């Protein structure tokens, strides 16, 4: 009787334990899959750019000679130029989520929860965007002033002023472009390590799991 009871218990217990093991294995797989799709990584890429600079100079010498009632004038024009080209290697870095989605500084800071830094760089970007808008407006006004001045034969000073307004607009836009990054690479790397460790703990994964 006791033997039959033990056999019945084993028959009941073994399928339950197998089922529990399967569920644990499935959950472990899901956790690992979620981590691989959610972990952050910083990747660097190197590229070579060519920087060139040139300098040119033109000298104009004018001489006038007088001989009684006769005079002559001669002009000598000389030019010189210097050009230089140099290959330079630059390193760029990017933040990826799940090795696929590239994150901007704003998306990254929001994801890691650094609200203070996010507010700071958002304020800087809003300021740059305001200057770019003013620059675009200046370019439009300057161009309109030049075209209307030429059409209505306005004074040259008016046309020159319009040209200056347009050039100022170009400079405003050029010097207020959004930079590649507002944050430093070493700061981003520290935050990435912290984020990935917390994600592993949340998913009950070993800290050594990659």
Confidence of residue 164 (pLDDT cuts 50, 70, 90): confident
In 155-184, where does DSSP find H-type helix?
A: 156-174
40-67 β-sheet, strand order: 40-67, 70-97, 101-103
- Domain presence at residue 70: yes
**Higher per-residue pLDDT: 66 or 197:** 197
Say how many domains are in the chain: 1
Better pLDDT: 97 or 148: 97
Instruction: Determine which of 15-24, 92-101, 172-181 has the lowest per-residue pLDDT on average.
Output: 15-24
Q: Looking at the domain assignment, is residue 24 inside a domain?
A: no
* Residue 82 included in any domain: yes
Phi first, then psi: give them for residue 141, nearest 5 degrees. Answer: -65, -40
Q: For residue range 51-103, what is the model confidence (pLDDT) as tens digits?
A: 666 666 555 555 565 555 655 555 555 666 667 767 778 889 999 998 788 99
Residue 189 resides in a domain? yes
Q: Does pLDDT of 18 surpass 50?
A: no
Q: Please give the Cα distance from 179 to 125 (Å, whole number).
A: 9
Residue 31 burial by CB count (10 A; 0-12/13-18/19+): exposed, middle or buried? middle
Residue ranges making up the domain that contains 102: 39-202
Per-residue pLDDT at 46: 85
User: Which has the minimum average pLDDT: 13-22, 52-61, 172-181?
Assistant: 13-22
- The CA distance from 96 to 111, in Å, is 12
| In a domain? residue 3 | no
**Section 110-139 average pLDDT:** 94
- Determine how many CB atoms are found less than 10 A away from the CB of residue 112: 20
Tell me the C-alpha distance between 154 and 78, whole Å.
Answer: 37
15 located within any domain:
no
Question: What pLDDT band is residue 181 in, cutting at 50, 70 and 90?
Answer: very high
Pairing of strands 40-67, 101-103: unpaired
**Out of 31-40, 52-61, 104-113, which region has the weakest mean confidence (pLDDT)?**
52-61
Rounded average pLDDT over 160-188: 90
Confidence of residue 196 (pLDDT cuts 50, 70, 90): very high
- Report how far residue 207's alpha carbon sits from residue 198's, in angstroms, rounded to the nearest whole number: 9
pTM: 0.67
Tell whether 72 is covered by a domain.
yes
Looking at residue 35, its pLDDT comes to 92
Q: Looking at the domain assignment, is residue 29 inside a domain?
A: no
């Amino acid at each position: 009787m006791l033997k039959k009871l033990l056999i019945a218990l084993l028959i009941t217990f073994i399928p339950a334990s197998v089922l529990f093991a399967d569920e644990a294995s499935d959950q472990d797989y899901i956790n690992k899959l979620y981590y691989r799709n959610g972990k952050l990584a910083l990747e660097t890429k190197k590229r070579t750019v060519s920087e060139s600079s040139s300098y040119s100079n033109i000298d104009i010498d004018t001489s006038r000679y007088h001989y009684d009632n006769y005079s002559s004038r001669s002009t000598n024009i000389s030019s010189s130029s210097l050009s230089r080209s140099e290959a330079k290697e630059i390193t760029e870095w990017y933040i990826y989520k799940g090795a696929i989605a590239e994150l901007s500084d704003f998306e990254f800071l929001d994801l890691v929860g650094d609200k203070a830094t996010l507010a700071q760089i958002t304020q800087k970007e809003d300021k740059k965007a305001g200057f770019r808008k003013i620059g675009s407006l200046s370019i439009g006004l300057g161009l309109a002033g030049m075209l209307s001045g030429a059409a209505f034969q306005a004074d040259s000073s008016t046309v020159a002023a319009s040209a200056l307004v347009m050039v100022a607009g170009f400079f405003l836009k050029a010097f207020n472009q959004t930079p590649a990054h507002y944050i430093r690479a070493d700061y981003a790397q520290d935050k990435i390590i912290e984020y990935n460790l917390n994600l592993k703990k949340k998913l009950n994964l070993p800290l050594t799991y990659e």
